[in-house]
């Protein structure tokens, strides 16, 4: 099937001129940098990002993904829709949170089905660690949220232990509405009958 792009797909990707200073949100989202910012870390093929951007035109959405093919797929998916409030950046998630997100700029940080790194000698690669929570707290606006999902129970238990030991967030119950957008991986896991574990942390 031939693709119909409403804008050139490459314009969806944001490439900073300088990776050593925080992003200028007026450059990332020209003319609309005052809108609340939601960031999807490890945005994959972008299904969630594109659906959220279309559903909430008064918010800005930034996808963060390290794989080029997935960034390009996200750009194509976004460019087929009317959304002009969604962009994707190719960079490592924790680097972005620590060095590129302006302090206090983010209303919601989404971490949806991150790589679980199940082998013990790989677990240091997991995104959710104390240092990540420290940096996420700095990037979030007061009262901002960190929303996490995973299908992997050992990783979820690890996340919960890290949250419990961190005093910068309060955990809140989170039962999303039935039509809350699913990510591509979540849809796949659900189709296999796997449960999805979720947590919502609010910056205090």
Q: Does 196 bind ligand SAM (CB under 6 A)?
A: no
Q: Does 150 bind ligand SAM (CB under 6 A)?
A: no
> Of the two residues 55 and 66, which places its CB atom closer to ligand SAM in the complex?
66
In whole angstroms, what is the distance from residue 93 CA to residue 65 CA? 7
Q: How far is the CB of 188 from ligand SAM (least distance, A)?
A: 8
Count of beta carbons in the 10 Å neighbourhood of residue 4:
7
Among positions 112, 146, 200, 201, the unique one binding ligand SAM when judged by CB under 6 A: 112
In whole angstroms, what is the distance from residue 8 CA to residue 90 CA? 18
Among positions 9, 42, 86, 144, the unique one binding ligand SAM when judged by CB under 6 A: 42
135 catalytic? Reply is no
Q: Where are the alpha helices (DSSP H) in 45-124?
A: 47-55, 68-79, 93-95
Q: How far is the CB of 100 from ligand SAM (least distance, A)?
A: 12
> Of the two residues 105 and 183, which places its CB atom closer to ligand SAM in the complex?
183
Radius of gyration of the chain (CA): 16
In whole angstroms, what is the distance from residue 90 CA to residue 96 CA? 10
Evaluate the CA torsion angle 182, 146, 17, 26 in order and state its sign: positive
Q: Does 152 bind ligand SAM (CB under 6 A)?
A: no
Q: How far is the CB of 142 from ligand SAM (least distance, A)?
A: 26
C-alpha distances (whole Å) from 111 to each of 6, 53, 178, 201 are 28, 16, 19, 11
Q: Which residues ranging from 10 to 39 are in contact with ligand SAM (CB under 6 A)?
A: none
Q: Give how many residues touch ligand SAM by CB under 6 A.
A: 18
Q: Does 157 bind ligand SAM (CB under 6 A)?
A: no
In whole angstroms, what is the distance from residue 76 CA to residue 1 CA? 14
> Of the two residues 43 and 85, which places its CB atom closer to ligand SAM in the complex?
43
Taking a C-beta distance cutoff of 8 angstroms, is the pair 180, 187 a contact? no
Q: Does 66 bind ligand SAM (CB under 6 A)?
A: yes
- Residues interacting with ligand SAM, by CB under 6 A? 42-44, 64-67, 70, 92-93, 112-115, 183-186
């Amino acid at each position: 099937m031939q693709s119909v792009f409403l804008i050139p797909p490459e314009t969806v990707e944001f490439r900073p001129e300088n990776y050593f200073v925080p992003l200028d949100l007026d450059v990332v989202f020209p003319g609309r940098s005052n809108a609340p910012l939601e960031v999807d870390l490890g945005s994959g093929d972008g299904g969630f990002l594109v659906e959220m951007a279309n559903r909430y035109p008064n918010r800005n959405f930034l996808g963060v993904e390290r794989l080029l093919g997935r960034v390009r797929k996200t750009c194509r998916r976004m460019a087929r829709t009317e959304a002009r409030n969604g962009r994707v950046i190719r960079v490592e998630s924790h680097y972005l949170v620590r060095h590129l997100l302006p302090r206090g700029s983010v209303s919601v940080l989404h971490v949806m089905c991150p790589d679980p790194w199940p082998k013990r000698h790989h677990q240091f690669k997991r995104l959710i660690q104390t240092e990540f929570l420290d940096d996420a707290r700095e990037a979030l606006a007061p009262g901002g949220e960190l929303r996490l999902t995973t299908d992997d129970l050992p990783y979820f238990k690890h996340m919960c232990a890290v949250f419990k030991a961190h005093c910068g967030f309060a955990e809140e119950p989170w039962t999303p509405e039935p039509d809350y957008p699913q990510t591509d991986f979540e849809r796949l896991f659900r189709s296999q009958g796997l449960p999805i574990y979720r947590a919502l942390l609010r910056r205090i």
